[in-house]
Amino acid sequence: MKKVAGGPVRTLALLLAGSAVAALTAACSVDLRDAICGSDEYPVAAVGSAGGGSCVPDKEQPPKGSVRYPEGKVPQHVDDKWDKYWQDHALDANGRLITDPDQVRKG
Dump the DSSP string for 63-83.
Answer: PTTEEEPPTT----BTTSHHH
Res 36 pLDDT > 70: yes
Kindly give the pairing relationship between strand 49-50 and strand 105-106.
parallel
pTM: 0.68
DSSP three-state, residue 22: helix
Res 98 pLDDT > 90: yes
Q: From the CB of residue 41, how many other CB atoms can be counted at a distance below 10 Å? A: 15
Res 22 pLDDT > 90: no
- Percent of the chain past pLDDT 70, that is, above it, reads 70
What gap in Å lies between CA 53 and CA 14, rounded to an integer? 52
pLDDT confidence tier of residue 39, bands split at 50, 70 and 90: very high
